[in-house]
Structure 1
Amino acid sequence: MRRFYVFGFLLLMAFDTLAQLSFKLAGIHALPVAADLAWLSRVFGQPWIFGALAGYVGAFFTWMSLLKHAPIGPAFAASHLEMVSVMLLSAWLLHEPLTLARLAGAALIVAGILCLGAAEGDTPEEPSGLPS
């Protein structure tokens, strides 16, 4: 079951990262930003928008599969790992600055997820009361 969690959360992070980076790239290529139909057509005319949609659809189905088996606390926390991956990939691919505050925030996110995962592993399973 542990492999299922690791693979599932890595897949979820990949889909979420694809969606976020694709939206960023679609937005960048549709500049300048304006609150009008021309700007919306530029955004939705970008091929990156399909990556964003594919990422969100993939993330949805991966998340639904994970929720059937994973404990909700660590699962919810781990679902936010894409914040770290998007930050790192944006720094590499889009040359966004990696500040000390961003790196500290990423470290806190990862530390929180590890703490929740460790706490969940130490908790004995409670009987559900449902017949098997």
Structure 2
Amino acid sequence: MKRFYLIGFTLLLAFDTLNLICFKFAGTHALPVEMSTAWLARVFSYPWIYGAIVGYIGAFLTWMSLLKHAPIGPAFAASHLEVVSVMALSWWVFAEQVTTTQVIGATAIVAGIVCLAFAEGGEGVANHVVPA
């Protein structure tokens, strides 16, 4: 089951990150933003929007599969790891500034997920112990 979680959450992270990075690329290439058919045509003329759609659908299907088996608390927390991955990729790909506050926040997200994973693991073991 650990392999299922590892693969599932890695896929979820990859799809969520793909979705958000592709939306950023699509939006950047379709500037200036305006409410017109010309703008929509620009958005859909770049492949990035289709990557975003694939990422969104992939994330949705992966999330639904994970929810069948994973405990909801750690699953919900782990589903927010894309905040960290997108921040790192935005710094690397788009040369966006990352502040100390953002790094502290990303560290807190990862630490919270690790704490929840350990707590859930401890509860799982405790629930399977048969009292003497």
The answer to whether TM tops 0.5 is yes
Instruction: Report the equivalent of 1:114.
Output: 114
Cα distance in 2 between the residues matched to 1:62 and 1:3: 14
Alpha-carbon distance, 1:3 to partner: 1.4
Q: Which residue identity lines up with residue 81 of structure 2 in the other structure?
A: L
CA deviations 1:68-108 (Å, max 9, x no partner) are 11000000000010110011011101111111111111111
Alpha-carbon distance, 1:33 to partner: 1.7
Alpha-carbon distance, 1:119 to partner: 1.1
Structure 1: gaps (5+ residues): 127-132
Cα distance in 1 between the residues matched to 2:18 and 2:106: 18
Q: CA RMSD in A?
A: 1.3
Instruction: Report the equivalent of 2:76.
Output: 76
Q: TM-score, normalised by structure 2?
A: 0.90
Alpha-carbon distance, 1:115 to partner: 1.1
Cα distance in 2 between the residues matched to 1:41 and 1:104: 40
Instruction: Report the equivalent of 1:9.
Output: 9
Q: Which residue identity lines up with residue 57 of structure 1 in the other structure?
A: I
Aligned residues: 126
Question: Percent of aligned pairs with the same residue?
Answer: 63
Cα distance in 2 between the residues matched to 1:125 and 1:70: 16
Q: Please, which moves more after superposition, 38-47 or 62-71?
A: 38-47
Q: Which residue identity lines up with residue 15 of structure 2 in the other structure?
A: F
Alpha-carbon distance, 1:53 to partner: 0.6
Q: Which residue identity lines up with residue 70 of structure 2 in the other structure?
A: A
Structure 2: gaps (5+ residues): none
Greater percentage in helix: 2
